[in-house]
Amino acid sequence: MTTSLDGSALAGPLSEVFAVDITRGIGRCANCGDSNPIGRVDVYLDAPGSVGRCPSCEHVLIRLTRSPDRLWLDMQGLISLELPIP
């Protein structure tokens, strides 16, 4: 059985891309339309990379994969991402 973590598992890898803490941002699911903090998404680390799923409908919101010299980020599962600015 696959166990998920909360969206905080994405904080470290995403801090390499975003200047703000993305886990505090609010993402809107492209599938069901629900809005949730990114820190609340269900994260699965047993794929080739990390996969963040909507806590409401389990739709894939974020995919993040790393190699030693590259990072691939797919966020097409989000309609929008609202980030707080410090």
What pLDDT score was predicted for residue 7? Answer: 80
What pLDDT score was predicted for residue 73? Answer: 92
Cα dihedral: 44, 21, 61, 56 (round 10) = 80
DSSP 4: -
Measured distance CA(23)–CA(36) in Å, rounded: 10
What pLDDT score was predicted for residue 52? Answer: 95
Measured distance CA(27)–CA(82) in Å, rounded: 6
pTM over 0.85: no
Per-residue pLDDT for the chain (86 aa), expressed as one digit of tens each?
578 888 888 887 778 777 788 888 999 999 999 999 999 999 999 878 999 999 999 999 999 998 999 989 999 999 999 988 87
